[in-house]
Structure 1
Amino acid sequence: PNAVSLTKNENQKSKPLIFTLISIAHFRSAKDYITLFKAIKILKEKGIQIKLLVLGKTFGQIWPGQTVKNLEIENEIEFKGYVANPQSYMATVDGLVLSSLWEGTPNAVLEAMANKLPVIASNIPPCKDLIENSGCGFLFNVKNPLDLSLKIEILMALSESEKQRLGQKGYQYVKEHYGENKVYKQWESLIYKIL
């Protein structure tokens, strides 16, 4: 299993005035950014103000920027490129969204949980297991921008204390199952079994 560093800054979040989500994934087809961008477009058409920070390599592809332009959501999306340590961005957003078609271990989800962020993720294993077992957020149907936009609206409608409660549930789950000490002990046990 992967270990996750748990956040040390308890309540040092400086929230933006506009509801802001973060997505952390390189631009590969499996990450299905098209669905996410379409969901943002749906929200914009409803008059809902939202901002999406996108962290991840584009690998020189022009389609991400072109898609955002074609959907007329340039003011809602900020491409940040690859960021080695996304913690500083996570401290300023309202939640994480992951629109993947499939995942191995969803490190972005685990990092968001470790940073006490609510999570919206596609209903795929293991995202489904993490969200359902922890109670830290919402699942949406794969490749369904309308469902994703509705889940974003649900998260937006929650009070600040309800969002914090979701974030705390994710944090507790990661601490118990993926914290560095827990994972290091699992690896140590495995190594001793092999030796």
Structure 2
Amino acid sequence: MKREKINILQLVDGFRLGGAETKLLELIKHLDKDKNKITVCSLTSAGSLQRDFESVGVKVKVFPRKHRFDVTLIPTLVRFLRKERIDIVQTTLFYADILGVIAARIARVPAVISWETISHDHAFYAPRYRRMAYRLAMKFVDRIVAVSKGVKESLIRGGITASKIKVIYYGVDLMRFNNQDNGKCKAEIGLDGVFPVIGVVARLDKIKGHEYLLRGLTKIVERYPGTKCLFVGDGTYRKALEKLTQELGLNNHVLFLGFRNDITCLLNTLDLFVLPSVSEGLPNVVLEAMACSLPVVATSVGGVPEILVNKQNGILVPPRDPMAIATAILELLDNRERRVSIGLNARKFVERKFSLETQVNQFQKLYDYCLMDKSNELYYE
């Protein structure tokens, strides 16, 4: 007898334009709708990605929190889970992890999965109530999906049982992200004939390390006076970065582009991609840059060393080190042949190990496993 579709609730903190939310959208879009019935539920009332989630043919619900840790939502979630007869709850981001796990267990949902996209060594999880709440909630999940071995190790250091954690790397849509004509974006931004063009795609947050790139940029413009650096993304740290840009005399070299929907086009305007983060899980944007055959300079944090092999398909530098960032960038700018070689190696590496198809297939296997006899541990051997 053919099994009915797996009824999955994807619970997320909100629909803002963030890395975790974007990857969840991508996963839902590519999961087999003949095998899965998917509902997406947000715990925040508004977000720029809501229409995108609604456009992929799944049910979208919003249960907005009245405040950050609104436990009054738990009964609402319990009723919804029972009414919809949900088979699997998958949670993404902190508040979804806590409220979703509690509600799922009260509603006696058969399986609960938490998708962990950031390193838990970062201070975001440092407040004691967060650490305690998270550790407690994770006792009641069936599996935790970590996006890198680095994230898995940080979870274990935080007291999570290793046997519960499964690493599923991000995958990249290789048809979308590739080396293509960049004339349109270059002309729009006014970069025709400009060399070099360096870029960062990340929210403007202290953890992303933009300030260290800015300080390193002062050395780069000494050798390459025409340098342009694109900051793609927005956030609470923007004013501080704009002020630092002015103080360093870099106003003519740095462009703050805000949030953009044409990331593929923008990546292809660059000569070199940089991610100077202080902490990361597995930065999907690095994989996207690699898929576009870009040479990448990134800090050796979180899961980054799992995707960048130093000096082969990118260059790794220590975090919080402007001089190391500048030295690595100049090394690539000074040698076109090396830039091209590293970029081509990056593309081949992503094609071989980080396809979106592989990621989606691994999640499907996990969903199937979670609804099988729990004594069958073969998938996790």
TM-score (norm 2): 0.48
CA offsets 1:87-113 (integer angstroms, 9 cap, x no match):
111111111100000101111111101
1:168 matches 2:337: no
The match for 2:289 among 112, 122, 130 is 112
Within-5 A mapping of 1:143-182 = 143-159=320-336, 161-182=337-358
Q: Structure 2 vs 1, CA of residues 170 and 46 (structure 1 numbering), >3 Å: closer, same or farther?
A: closer
1:16–1:92 CA contact under 8 A, matched in 2: no
Pairwise CA distance, 1:190: 1.5
Q: Secondary structure at the match of 1:154?
A: helix
2:194–2:226 CA contact under 8 A, matched in 1: no
Which has the larger displacement, 90-99 or 165-174? 165-174
Amino acid at match of 1:84: N
Higher relative contact order (CA 8 A, sep 6+): 1
Q: 1:12 matched to which residue of 2? A: 181
Q: Secondary structure at the match of 2:218?
A: helix
Q: Structure 2 vs 1, CA of residues 178 and 133 (structure 1 numbering), >3 Å: closer, same or farther?
A: farther
Q: Structure 2 vs 1, CA of residues 24 and 126 (structure 1 numbering), >3 Å: closer, same or farther?
A: same
Q: Secondary structure at the match of 1:165?
A: helix
Pairwise CA distance, 1:131: 1.1
Within-5 A mapping of 1:26-175 = 26-46=203-223, 48-59=225-236, 61-132=238-309, 135-159=312-336, 161-175=337-351
Indicate the RMSD between aligned Cα atoms, in angstroms.
2.1
2:231–2:258 CA contact under 8 A, matched in 1: yes
Question: Between Structure 1 and Structure 2, how many residues are aligned?
Answer: 194
Which has the larger displacement, 124-133 or 23-32? 124-133
1:4–1:111 CA contact under 8 A, matched in 2: yes
Q: Secondary structure at the match of 1:148?
A: helix
1:189 matches 2:357: no
Amino acid at match of 1:193: Y
Q: Secondary structure at the match of 2:308?
A: helix
Q: 2:170 matched to which residue of 1? A: 2
Question: What is the distance in 2 between the residues matched to 1:44 and 1:70?
Answer: 15
Q: Could you list the runs of 5+ residues in structure 1 that have no partner in the other structure? A: none
Pairwise CA distance, 1:17: 2.8
Pairwise CA distance, 1:82: 1.0
Q: Secondary structure at the match of 2:316?
A: strand
